[in-house]
Structure 1
Amino acid sequence: MKRNRQQQENIDSKTRMEEDRVLPPALKQLLEWDVLITKRFVSFMLNFVPFRSLRTHCKVLEYSCHGIAWLSGWLAFCWMIDKPSWYQMQVNLFIGLITDIVMVALIKAATRRRRPAVNDDPFCIGPDKFSFPSGHVSRGVFIVTFLTWLDPVSFLLWPPLLAWCVALCLSRLLLFRHHILDVLAGIAVGLFNAFLISLIWFDQESCIWLISYMTDEKISGPEYGV
């Protein structure tokens, strides 16, 4: 009873905050349509046993594209793997992870759209209290686009990468973390971020300098050794 009361209070609080904001009628109607379509879509998907069982794996998908996990994990990967031919991939992907977090945080702070009312994740703090756009989706789309277009990996890895990205997008809806427009906006932000990184792409020499600046142990030889 106490938990249900708290959830209802959270829903009422979110509703009041949405009502306090003055939105253009067309935008308000679009958001209401988005909420309705999202509920119908998720309810329809949960009628199928495979998608109901997928919900048990949605948290794993959520953690697989968490911003902190990717930043810390990629830094550790850059530190441990001493392979000059990978320096461009390591540096440019890391820069893309940072720009993704910055863009998503700025958009969330500007739009301040609340997550679906049924979302009761106690770990939603700061910008993560807001749902537009989906940071997990934007990050996942950027990573997959980076590894299939900007710095392509083996073609054999493309199917699992794409499957992971599609499953990630669906998981954000099945977990009631986002509405459909949030996911679509996340896809757009991820693609834009990949385009942005393609414009500011760091060449091999710049990447070697950055890595040598971070640690002397990574670079050896007469040109870069110290």
Structure 2
Amino acid sequence: MDEFIGIEPKSKRKVPPMLRRVLQEDVRFTKKLVELGMKTTWTRSLRNNYRLFEVSCHGIVWLAGWLTFIWLFNNKELYQLQVNTLIALILDIIVIAVLKAFVRRRRPVPMNKMLEVGPDKFSFPSGHASRACMIVSILMLNDVPVYFAPPLLAWVSAVCLTRVLAERHYILDVICGVMIGLLEGSLMYLLWLSQGTCASIVASLSDEKVEGGEYHV
């Protein structure tokens, strides 16, 4: 029975009855959403292109891409956004890895056997959902130009929805991922590092003297 709610059968942890019912309903609603998505043109299109959204919010892609962004665009006006977002990305990877290792909920078994399960077999919470929401919340809290808001919201919505439609996660995994991402974004906003501190970090990363850093001479 445990495999039908995403809990490893060999786990010695006893699942409380209330939590078991919640997980069972989560599995049921997820299957219904996937079946409904297959009957609608635009959601079926999203499902067919889930790889695009998966890669667009992959942790390694964002981490490597953001380090490249810091290296290529050495502009003191960008240091705060660059460094604080880098810290947020690392924080998100650690938080999601720890939660997945602790909860150990298995990914859904795809109804479409052609879909790959992937190397990461744990499902809760969704790292893609948390990362997407964290990135968008950081940008929104830092006064991103208003014309960027619609595409950013469309992207984060597509990432979250495709995680369920592609049967990579259950609905509850994505919802909790969204909540974690929003909390991470809010935490980074509260702990936002100053311009001088960020310039010093960039200088230490690039091994160069950066204008505005504490070690600039």
Bigger helix share: 1
Letter of the 1:99 counterpart:
L
Question: Which of 145, 160, 165 is matched with 1:154 structurally?
Answer: 145
Alignment deviations for residues 8-31 of structure 1 (CA, whole Å, 9 cap, x no partner): xxx79x776267541000001110
Quote the residue 2:14 is aligned against.
22
Structure 2: unaligned runs, 5 residues or longer: none
2:36 corresponds to 1:37: no
User: Structure 1 residue 181 and structure 2 residue 172: aligned?
Assistant: yes
Structure 1 contact 133–182 (Cα < 8 Å) conserved: yes
What corresponds to 1:56 in structure 2?
48
Give the equivalent residue in structure 2 for 1:121.
116
Assess, with a 3 A threshold, how the Cα gap between structure 1 residues 225 and 205 changes in structure 2: closer, same or farther. closer
Distance 1:181 1:99 in 2: 21
Contact 2:126–2:174, Cα closer than 8 Å, also in 1: yes
Q: CA deviation at 1:121?
A: 2.6
The amino acid across from 1:68 in the alignment is I
Contact 1:115 1:130 in 2 (8 A): yes
- Structure 1: tracts of 5 or more residues without a match: 1-10
Q: Which residue in the other structure is 1:73 paired with?
A: 65
| Counterpart residue number, 2:76 | 84
Correspondent of 1:209 among 194, 197, 200: 200
Q: 1:115, 1:129 within 8 Å by CA — same for their partners in 2? A: yes
Tell me the TM-score normalised to structure 1 length: 0.86
CA separation of 1:33/1:79 partners in 2, compared to 1, >3 Å: closer, same or farther?
same
| Aligned-residue identity in percent | 44
Change over 3 Å in CA distance of 1:215–1:47 after alignment to 2: same
Paired amino acid for 1:121? E
1:85 match: secondary structure: coil
- Which stretch of structure 1 is more off in the superposition, 63-72 or 108-117? 108-117
Aligned length: 211
**1:86 counterpart letter in structure 2:** L
1:109-148 Cα distance to aligned partner (Å, 9 max, x none): 1111111022853532xxx311110000000000000111
TM-score by length of 2: 0.90
* Partner amino acid, structure 2, of 1:96: A
Aligned position for 2:162: 171
